[in-house]
Amino acid sequence: MPTDVLLQLNTYPLREGLKPTYGTAGFRSVADLLPSTVFRCGALMALRAGALRQVTGIVITASHNPEQDNGVKLVDPSGNMLDSQWENMADALAQATTAEQALREVELIKQTWAVGTGGTVMVAHDTRSSALDLCKAAAAGISAVGGTPEPALLLTTPQLHWMVARRNCCLPFSEVDYFQTLLGAFEQLRSSHCPSAKAQALVVDAANGVGAPKLAEAAGRLSDLGLNINVINSGTSGALNAGCGADFVQKEQARPAGFESIPSGMRCASMDGDADRLVYFVMRKSGHAQLFDGDRIAVLAATLLDRILHERPGADASVRMGIVQTAYANGSSTRYVRSRLTECEVVMTPTGVKHLHHAAAAFDIGIYYEANGHGTILFKPSFLKTLTEGSGGWRTEMGLLSQVMNQAVGDALSGLLLVEYALCRLGWGLAQWTDLYTDLPSRQLKVAVPNRAAFTTTDAETRLMTPRGLQCQVEAEVAKVSQGRCFVRPSGTEDVVRVYAEAENQIAADQLAKAVASLVS
Ligand code: NG1
Ligand code: ZN
Instruction: Look up the CATH number of domain 442-520.
Output: 3.30.310.50
Instruction: Find the 132 Cα to ligand 1 centroid distance in Å.
Output: 25
Residue 491 known to bind ligand: yes
* DSSP 8-state symbol, 267: -
**Rounded (10°) angle between helices 99-112 and 2-11:** 130
- Predicted pLDDT of residue 2: 55
Class of domain 173-439 as given by CATH = alpha beta
Residue 492 known to bind ligand: yes
Rounded to the nearest 5 percent, the helix, strand and coil shares of the chain are 45, 20, 35
- Predicted pLDDT of residue 238: 76
| Alpha carbons 120 and 380: distance in angstroms, whole number | 27
Q: What are the extents of the domains in the chain?
A: 2-154, 173-439, 442-520
- Predicted pLDDT of residue 3: 60
Same fold, 2-154 and 173-439: yes
352 C-beta closer than 6 A to ligand 1: yes
- Predicted pLDDT of residue 287: 87
- Predicted pLDDT of residue 316: 60
21 C-beta closer than 6 A to ligand 1: no
CATH topology of domain 2-154: Alpha-D-Glucose-1,6-Bisphosphate; Chain A, domain 3 (3.40.120)
Residue 2 known to bind ligand: no
Q: Among the bound ligands, name the one nearest to the CA of residue 354.
A: 1
- Predicted pLDDT of residue 236: 78
**Phi and psi of 437, rounded to 5°?**
-165, 165
Instruction: Find the 493 Cα to ligand 1 centroid distance in Å.
Output: 7
Instruction: Find the 196 Cα to ligand 1 centroid distance in Å.
Output: 39
Provide the residue type at 413 as one letter: L
Half-sphere CA count of 106, side-chain side, radius 13 A:
32
> If you take atom 19 of ligand 1, which residue's CA is the nearest one?
372
210 C-beta closer than 6 A to ligand 1: no
Instruction: Find the 193 Cα to ligand 2 centroid distance in Å.
Output: 31
Cα–Cα distance list, 87 to 220, 247, 443 (Å): 40, 25, 31
**Rounded (10°) angle between helices 412-426 and 175-193:** 10
> Does 196 qualify as catalytic in the annotation?
no
What is the number of the ligand 1 atom nearest to the C-alpha of 492? 3
Low-confidence ranges of the chain (pLDDT < 50): none
> If you take atom 5 of ligand 1, which residue's CA is the nearest one?
493
- Predicted pLDDT of residue 279: 98
- Predicted pLDDT of residue 128: 96
